[in-house]
Structure 1
Amino acid sequence: MSYTTQMDAARKGIVTPQMETVARKERVRVEDLADRVAAGTVAIPCNRNHAAIDPEGVGQGLRTKVNVNLGISKDANDVDRELDKVRHALKLGAESIMDLSCFGKTQEFRTRLVQMSPAMIGTVPIYDAVGFYDKELADISVDEFFRVVERHVEDGVDFLTIHAGLTRAAAERLDRTERITSIVSRGGSLLYAWMKQNGRENPFYEHFDRLLDICERHDVTLSLGDGCRPGCLHDATDACQVEELITLGELTKRAWAHNVQVMIEGPGHMSLGEIPGNVMMEKRLCHGAPFYVLGPLVTDIAPGYDHITAAIGGAVAAAAGADFLCYVTPAEHLRLPDLDDMKEGIIATQIAAHAADIAKGLPGARERDDAMSRARADLDWCRMFKLAIDPVRPRSYREASAPEVEDSCTMCGRMCAVRTMRRVREGKALAMAE
């Protein structure tokens, strides 16, 4: 029996190789996974043109996944340097790479990325359209926008961020709303400008079925972007954000009718207490579709440390039911991240995702933590390093400050509580003095 997409296969009772791979990774029954794919509560972004992919699932009952943003721009147009970042991101265990390229040799970067990456690949085609056509935004036609979408899909991209929910009505509401930061979504701002300058509806909303036809042909997942996501605490959970979310829920139903998988993108900046309610609202309004969040950043006053503010919000969001975290680096709001920034962002986001998976009680989520605890109880430093999310930093810390006695560290030395308890229980002398 043939099928068009993972969702179509699941609805026909077909277990695909991609479903088998994801079920094995997640320690769930493949039949249960297929039921969730059929219902839309799990997506397996997997373009049939992406030969190198090692499929991942995003959604209900699965591990929280981490995305890394990369790409070339006019100010940083070095393809090889960005591909080096890709290699490091994959080595650090990122499950997803988003190519946000907007200038220069975008197709070269994208095709090389797809060829080398086992991680799922996402793009935002409207970014590429402006640079690709080398013309003013207002002069880009609807057909030209869709030609870029088709090019990305043909190149093997697994999911597309499309800001289809930012309609003309939503833009008019935004104009009446007292937001501090207005629109902070790059794609959202471009579509807002295009609509205003042309006096027309959002082309991806008006021609949504055309978009669905493209995605269905290649089994590409739609990541419905939040053009009205809040860019500061003041703007969170306002009418603009909620209205767009309602529209995204309606579009989700239309996509599922075409067997197109969907993820919903979310905030943004938001106070800690608002996060669980926003996750619940997305799940309700968007019918349980997987939720993909940027942060949320829980304070606006930590430039240079936004990987931390985002990890705090990301842990709360994922524990409340968000499924996919976009990393944030220390360079957020300041510059294009370098390799060190990228690593800090990935590790912080992985910590948030893992902490949330423990809170959600996912199968096997605590096994590594318990193994780490046993290694600490045994004062087995090598084992601790192997189990660490980042084995490099803890090893370098220990090597930089050698203790007087091997079974301790330079903070407690001979007074180490673990060392004391082990020695007493083994009937050994404490040997506190020289």
Structure 2
Amino acid sequence: MMAYATQMEAARLGIVTPEMEIAAGDEHISAEQLRALIAEGQAVIPKNKRHQIGHPKAIGRMLSTKINVNLGASRDCCNIDVELAKVQEAERLGADAIMDLSTFGDTRAFRRTLAAQCKAALGSVPIYDALVYYNKELAEITSDEWLEIARIHAEDGFDFMTIHCGMNQATAARFMRNRNRITNIVSRGGSLMFAWMQMTGKENPFFEQFDELLEICRKYDVTLSLGDACRPGSTHDASDATQVEEMITLGELTKRAWARDVQVIIEGPGHMPLNQIASNMKLQQTLCHGAPYYVLGPLVTDIAPGYDHITSAIGGTVAAANGAAFLCYVTPAEHLRLPNEQDVHDGIIAAKIAAHAADLAKNIPHASDWDDEMSKARQEVDWEKMFSLSIDPEKARKIHDENPSEIKDACTMCGEMCAMRNMNKILNGEVVTAK
């Protein structure tokens, strides 16, 4: 068999890899169809060569919508056992990817634990980790050290890395000229790189030494997630010139990555009014040449702290139905604190609902099978089957059992007036009574 460095190189050589076979089976398409999409950059399989136990998943707008879960320790909440419990919950609920955003503690040991235990695709943001790893002031980190931290994350087996390559001096200058945003730069990694450039006067090393970054990604087959440092952090700031200019730069970097057979996904908003989401997805497809789009939400309103898993699910559904391939979950704790295990649970369920609703809208093969089975179970008033088919079986059962009906084939909403129950009876030739 011909040697290949990355899934994209294999695809371009006409090789169907074992990872493509597995991922294509999940999508109910042929491995050859998936190979063609990967060759064109329209789909990716994030699978670091050193992440031995992962289950390969394909990400692309014409495939089923995938979801990512963010977690990780911070200075104020640094219990690794708690973070590992969140990881286990995420995998139990079927998260497609897990991103470690840790900013405190022995971050490398935690990454290696994740790589050894997790089957989901693993992602990280090396910029965060640089301050922890080097343990020095932001302005003292050198250009070479920024590249080295990316290399370390690749060596640790992480499948995709979000790196804010588009936050260059030109983008920063545009931001400074047009200071009409309410929320400035809300990307944590983007703000750190902006601050580093402002303090040192140097160019973003990930932009300036992009070819070296690509060699790191190519060596380990790390999918490069081009971070949107200028994503809107409020509905007011959505779709402004700073966001669009960075997107143009990300499109240019995408072509350079593809020239080295490096897989790419593009990060997107953020916060965005509902009426702008569809057009933003189309704009990204044009400017970034159809590379898979990875969105945080978008959150469609800014006034719902405690309920941002809902504002995110609304925006995520519209985004995915219009071309986004990958949804980053948002929890009820967004903007408030580090999420706990229940927050993680609620955020995952909301994101999965959004992803599935979008798959129905996109007519993804067999997406409607699940809904059809649930509808049949409802028509048959088969409670156990309804519970098992629920996206959150434990919650569905709990709510039902809190106030059960005396009538076996009904619930306390309708009782003997249950349409399902009465139609079953009358169509079977039985008498329907009001008692």
> How would you bin the TM-score normalised by the shorter chain?
over 0.9
Q: Give 2:161's aligned amino acid.
A: L
State how 1:308-323 maps to structure 2 within 5 Å: 308-323=310-325
1:232 maps onto 2:237 in alignment: no
Q: Name the residue aligned to 2:415.
A: 413
3-state SS, counterpart of residue 143 of structure 1: helix
The offset of 1:176, in angstroms, is 1.9
When normalised by structure 2's length, the TM-score is 0.99
Match of 2:262 in 1: 260
Q: Does 1:86 align with 2:62?
A: no
Shift of 1:169: 1.0
CA contact (8 A) 2:61 2:320 kept: no
> Where does residue 7 of structure 1 map in the other structure?
8
- Partner of 2:165, secondary structure, is coil
Corresponding letter in the other structure for 2:222: V
**Counterpart residue type for residue 230 of structure 1:** P
Shift of 1:399: 1.2
Matched, 1:115 2:116: yes
How far apart, in 1, do the equivalents of 2:93 and 2:61 lie? 24
> What is residue 280 of structure 1 aligned with on the other side?
282
Counterpart of 2:271 in structure 1 is 269
- What is the rounded CA distance, in whole Å, between the counterparts of 1:417 and 1:398 in structure 2? 18
Question: What is the CA–CA distance in structure 2 between the aligned matches of 1:378 and 1:416, rounded to whole Å?
Answer: 12
Q: How far apart are 1:103 and its partner, in Å?
A: 1.3
Q: Distance in 2 between matches of 1:112 and 1:429?
A: 62
The C-alpha deviation readout for 1:54-102, integer Å capped at 9, x for no partner, is: 0000003211000000111111111111011100100000000000011
Partner of 2:98: helix, strand, or coil?
A: strand
1:346-400: per-residue Cα shift (whole Å, max 9, x none)? Answer: 0000000000000000100100000000000000010111111110111011111
1:345 alignment counterpart: 347
* Residue number in structure 2 paired with 1:423: 425
Query: Which among 295, 298, 310 is matched to residue 296 of structure 1?
Result: 298
Whether the 8 Å contact between 1:402 and 1:410 is mirrored in structure 2 is: yes
Structure 1 vs Structure 2: percent identity of aligned residues? 58
Checking the alignment, whether the CA contact within 8 Å between 1:36 and 1:60 is kept in structure 2 is: no
d(CA) in 1 for partners of 2:127, 2:235: 27
- C-alpha displacement of 1:424: 1.2
Among candidates 195, 211, 214, match of residue 213 of structure 2? 211
In 2, distance between residues paired with 1:40 and 1:400? 50
Gaps of 5+ in 2: none
Cα RMSD after superposing both structures: 0.7
1:173-195: CA deviations, max 9, x gaps? 11122000000000000000000
Report the secondary structure of 2:367's partner residue: coil
Equivalent residue number for residue 324 of structure 1: 326
* Correspondence list, 1:137-286, <5 A: 137-177=138-178, 178-286=180-288
User: How many matched pairs?
Assistant: 433
Q: 2:305 is paired with a residue of what secondary structure?
A: coil
Q: Distance in 2 between matches of 1:191 and 1:136?
A: 13
CA distance in 2, matches of 1:294, 1:145: 25
Shift of 1:429: 2.2
**Among residues 383, 386, 393, which one is paired with 2:385 in the alignment?**
383
1:140-174 Cα shifts (integer Å, max 9, x gaps): 01111112111110010000000000111111111
Task: Answer whether contact 2:214 2:257 (CA < 8 A) is retained.
Answer: yes
The corresponding residue for 1:97 is 98
Equivalence map 1:349-388=2 (5 Å): 349-388=351-390
Instruction: State the Cα distance separating 1:428 from its structure 2 match.
Output: 1.6
Partner-residue secondary structure (3-state), 2:224: strand
Deviations 1:296-350 (A, max 9, x none): 0000111110000000000000000100000000000000000111111000000
Amino acid at match of 2:299: L
1:14-163 matches, cutoff 5 A: 14-163=15-164
1:33-65 deviation digits (Å, cap 9, x = unpaired)? 101100000000000000110000000321100
> Which amino acid is the alignment partner of residue 48 of structure 1?
K
TM-score, normalised relative to structure 1 = 0.99
Unaligned runs of 5+ in 1: none
C-alpha distance in 2 between matches for 1:270 and 1:349: 17
2:310 and 2:234 map into 1 onto residues whose CA distance is 16
Amino acid paired to 1:427: G
- Residue 431 of structure 1, CA deviation: 3.3
**Aligned equivalent of 1:333, options 335, 360, 379:** 335
Q: Secondary structure at the match of 1:98?
A: strand
In structure 2, distance between residues paired with 1:280 and 1:61: 14
- Determine the C-alpha separation between the residues in 2 that align with 1:218 and 1:421: 59
Aligned with 1:366: secondary structure?
A: helix
Runs of 4 or more above 6 Å deviation: none
